[in-house]
Amino acid sequence: MGSHLTSDKKWQVLRFADANCKNCYKCVRACPVKAISILDDKAEINDARCVFCGKCFLACPQDAGIHSTDKDKVRELLDSDSKVYVSLAATYSMYFGNYNLRNMAYALKQMGFFHVEETAVGTGRVLQEYEKIINSRKYSNLITSHCPGSNYLIQKYYPKLLHSLFPVVTPLEAHALMMRKAYGDDIKIVGIGPCLAYLRLIHSEDCSGGIDAYITYEELKGLMDEEGVTISAEHEDEDTYAVSAYRNRYTDETTGVFRAMDIDIKKKYMLWTADGVTKLGDVMQGLGRDISGHIVEALTCTNGCLGAPTLRMEKLDKFDARTRWLEGIKENINHLDKRNPSEEVEVELRKAYRRMEFPAPEPTEEDIEMLLELIDKRSKKDMLDCSGCGYPSCRDKAIAVYQGMADPYMCIPHSRDIAEAQSNLMFDNVPTGCLVLDGDLVIRDSNKMAEQLLDRSGEELQGTAASDFLPQDFLESSKLKESAVFKKALKCPAITCTVNATFFKARRDVFMVLLEDVTERAELIEKAARMRLETIDITKDVVEKQMRVAQEIASLLGETTAETKLAFNRLRDNLLESESEWK
């Protein structure tokens, strides 16, 4: 193994960005093994439980999924004096388009890679090992081990079936062993493909062959862009040779293992193909019974490597992408003049897969009942089993809570009930009258204060036209207003008090009217207005008396009279202006 390898605990392949999680639980629903915990409003992927299928990334509406990368490691290798060899998966044509292996190799060598071969070289040797084991008839049942994701599924969730797993390394590991034997142990090896499980495998202590780095097609494209390198159909690397047996490439697709083998295994075993973790789980449960004579082609991704998560994230046209892959399968027919030296060497490819169970304490029935009661699930009718939280049943969610994988309150129906209860409590107890009207301005709901202001019970108000209490012109004009909120002070015969009415649209064809009792305030304003009018009358009487006196002495005080009249007019205007403002 290369010196760069990190321990299992330090290397986490898949994770979520902290800031993006919206607690929609779609990732939990998508995860077939429930390896995602939701705690403190944050989604986290539990590496010990994960099988690296990438379904959570595809499901996340916030694109919050992040996978670790070896891009920096690849840059370091290319900048060093080392000879860097590439093991390239055959699905490259799905991502990069109609280019052959030699086109790809030419571009890769422009980046600084020394030599390029297909991972299918290792696949061929893995299939030969499969055939030896099948012919030995030592196994009652067999499960393919060429998919690292399905290997993790069996190691973690079905360890009792490890005795049926082909004790053979994966194709990438096999190819790395073959290249080191052919070209020297001092070379550096970079795997390129669509698989996230391989990224996990090469950073574990279980990896064979000393693979120094692994990058996806997207990451390779990023490195090419940084280096200004493009792939061209006009440029081919003449020193690159396709795998000698083109059928090895078939293993990238469902049923590919059976199509690629040279022997007819149908006569010896019943053949099963299970692609996707859910299907795999069903088949693994079946193999756990007392049966024999089955070979299972196990693939974590639906349709095998053609449906790998990083390819699905690119939203490629599935038909066109698969067509390009099919066209590339027989590419090597024209390049059989020379075989890759790595295909000629003999290496040991057997591998013992270890159990990877993780601690998962089992709750008692009392524990489960207690956890269910936290969210008011006390009887069978309360168990909706809606899967809104991501778990198939309320009981499964309670077990996840006990195991530290879920929050007890991540129940959508319970949260809705709480929100409705709080909303109703607030609606009923706010000190403002609230009326809910439909599109025809008919009262559909009311709170206690509104019932008190209108002197009607809630049952009496429900179904009654709002115009029975509020002016029709106010309601109609408010409904047609372009502004979001319309306010007006109202006093009408049906209401014994004066109210400030606020009309607004809650949503389509649902309107709200808020009624604030301002009777006391209105009475104070009216009282002040009366006092001002009385002041004007008294002032007027005083001025008129002064005018009479002024007329008697007009000859002597003519100038004074004019000033007095002017002063009165000013006083009158000021008082009237003040009265107008109050009104």
Which pLDDT score, from 0 to 100, does residue 231 have? Answer: 95
Which pLDDT score, from 0 to 100, does residue 5 have? Answer: 34
Which pLDDT score, from 0 to 100, does residue 543 have? Answer: 66
How far is 444 from 451, CA to CA, in rounded Å?
13
Which pLDDT score, from 0 to 100, does residue 2 have? Answer: 32
Beta bridge pairs of residue 515: 433, 501
Cβ contact 435:501 at 8 Å: no
Which pLDDT score, from 0 to 100, does residue 379 have? Answer: 80
Cβ contact 44:16 at 8 Å: yes
Structure tokens at 159: 């360890």
How far is 299 from 295, CA to CA, in rounded Å?
13
Closest CA to 125 of 344, 351, 352, 353: 344
Q: How many CA atoms lie within 13 A of 487 on its CB side?
A: 4
Which pLDDT score, from 0 to 100, does residue 65 have? Answer: 85
Give the C-alpha distances (Å, rounded to integers) separating 568 from 73, 101, 550, 572.
95, 105, 13, 6
Which pLDDT score, from 0 to 100, does residue 540 have? Answer: 67
* pLDDT tens readout for residues 479-529: 877 566 677 777 766 777 778 888 888 777 888 888 887 766 666 666 666
Which pLDDT score, from 0 to 100, does residue 432 have? Answer: 83
Which pLDDT score, from 0 to 100, does residue 353 have? Answer: 96
Which pLDDT score, from 0 to 100, does residue 358 have? Answer: 87
Cβ contact 365:382 at 8 Å: no
Tens-binned pLDDT, residue by residue, of the chain (583 aa): 233 333 344 568 888 887 667 788 899 999 999 999 988 888 899 999 999 999 998 888 888 888 889 999 999 999 999 999 999 999 999 999 889 999 999 999 999 999 999 999 999 999 999 999 998 888 999 999 999 999 999 999 999 999 999 999 999 999 999 999 999 999 999 999 999 999 999 999 889 888 999 999 999 999 999 999 999 999 999 999 999 888 899 999 999 999 898 877 877 788 999 999 999 999 999 988 888 899 999 999 999 999 998 888 887 888 888 888 888 887 765 555 688 999 999 999 999 999 998 888 899 989 888 988 888 888 877 788 788 888 888 889 889 989 889 888 888 777 777 766 666 676 777 778 888 888 888 988 888 888 888 888 888 888 888 888 888 888 888 887 756 667 777 776 677 777 888 888 877 788 888 888 776 666 666 666 667 776 666 666 666 676 666 566 555 545 555 666 666 666 666 656 655 544 4
Which pLDDT score, from 0 to 100, does residue 433 have? Answer: 84
How far is 13 from 152, CA to CA, in rounded Å?
14
Cβ contact 448:439 at 8 Å: no
Which pLDDT score, from 0 to 100, does residue 528 have? Answer: 61
How far is 445 from 440, CA to CA, in rounded Å?
14
Angle at the Cα of 189 (from 67 to 200), degrees rounded to 5?
30
Which pLDDT score, from 0 to 100, does residue 331 have? Answer: 73
Which pLDDT score, from 0 to 100, does residue 314 have? Answer: 82
Which pLDDT score, from 0 to 100, does residue 469 have? Answer: 86
Which residues, 6 or more positions from 513, have their beta carbon under 8 angstroms from its beta carbon?
434, 435, 437, 466, 470, 501, 502, 503
Beta strand 270-275 pairing with 294-299: parallel
Q: What three-state secondary structure class fits 238?
A: coil
Number of alpha helices (DSSP H) and beta strands (DSSP E) in the chain: 22, 16
